[in-house]
Amino acid sequence: MPAILEQISEALIDGMSKKVQGLVNKAVEEGIDPKSIINDSLLVGMSEVADLFQEGEMFVPEVLVAAKAMNKGMEILKPMITEDDLEKAGKVIMCTVKGDLHDIGKKLVTMMLEGAGYEVKDLGVDVTPEKIVEVSKDYKPDIVGMSAMLTTTMVSMRDSVSALEEAGLGDTVVMVGGAPVSEKFANEIGAHYAGDASTAVKLANKLVSK
C-alpha cells in the first residue's frame, strides 16, 4: 500500500481539506488508480472517523470538517472515475430518504456506480416518496437506490416502495443500503440490499442483467 494513501486518510481524519486535495492530486500524479485512492484512503479515513465518533473520540463539528475534506478529495477524483465510461451500464436514481440528511455513503455509492458506467441521478438528501415517484416516471431508471443512516428513517424506504407500487411503478428495482439497513429488512420491503459501495456496484450489475 503506497504511504501516500495512509497520509490522505490521516489528513481526512484531521479535517485538513487543502492537505487532502494536495495529496490526492499528488497520488493521481504518481499514477495511483483513482478508485484505489477512494477505497484505500478516503473510505478508510471516513470509516475511522465513524469509529472515533462512536467511541466519543470525535465530535459532530470535527466529523463535518472531515466529511468536507473527504468531499474535496472526491471532487478531484469524480471526473476521473467517470471519464472512461463509454457505454452506460444503466440508469440509477440515488437518494437519501425523507428525514435523513446523511449523504456521505450515498455519494460514495453514486460515485462507484458512475465509475462502473452507470448514469446516476442523485436527488440529494431528505427525499420524499412523492419525489422518488415523480422523478422515476420521468427518468425511467433501471434501479432506484435509497440510503438511510437513521433507524427512524428506514420507514421512509418502505413508504417509498409503497408509493412506487401505488403509482403503478411496482416493477421498479429498488436497492437499499446504509448502516441500520439489513438484508432481512430489504427483503421485507421488496428491495435488494448491499452493505457497501463496492458490493452495491456488483448488485447493480446483477440486477440490470436480469
Which residues are at the interface with ligand B12 (CB under 6 A)?
A: 46, 50, 53-54, 60, 63-64, 67, 99-106, 108-109, 145-147, 149-152, 175-180, 194, 196-197, 200
165-192: burial string, b at 16+ Cβ within 10 Å, e else: eebebeebbbbbbbeebeeebbeebebb
Q: How far is the CB of 3 from ligand B12 (least distance, A)?
A: 23
The smaller minimum CB distance to ligand B12, of residues 27 and 120, is found at: 120
One-letter amino acid at 196 equals: D
The smaller minimum CB distance to ligand B12, of residues 115 and 177, is found at: 177
Residue for grid cell 479535517: 15
Beta strands, E only, the chain: 90-96, 118-122, 143-147, 173-177, 192-193
Q: How far is the CB of 167 from ligand B12 (least distance, A)?
A: 20
Q: How far apart are CA 198 and CA 118, in angstroms?
A: 13
Q: How far is the CB of 68 from ligand B12 (least distance, A)?
A: 9
The smaller minimum CB distance to ligand B12, of residues 86 and 120, is found at: 120
Q: How far is the CB of 26 from ligand B12 (least distance, A)?
A: 23
The smaller minimum CB distance to ligand B12, of residues 53 and 80, is found at: 53
One-letter amino acid at 121 equals: K
Q: How far is the CB of 29 from ligand B12 (least distance, A)?
A: 26
- DSSP secondary structure code for residue 96 in this structure: E
The smaller minimum CB distance to ligand B12, of residues 72 and 106, is found at: 106
3-state class of 32 per DSSP? coil
Q: Are the CB atoms for 94 and 139 separated by under 8 Å? A: no
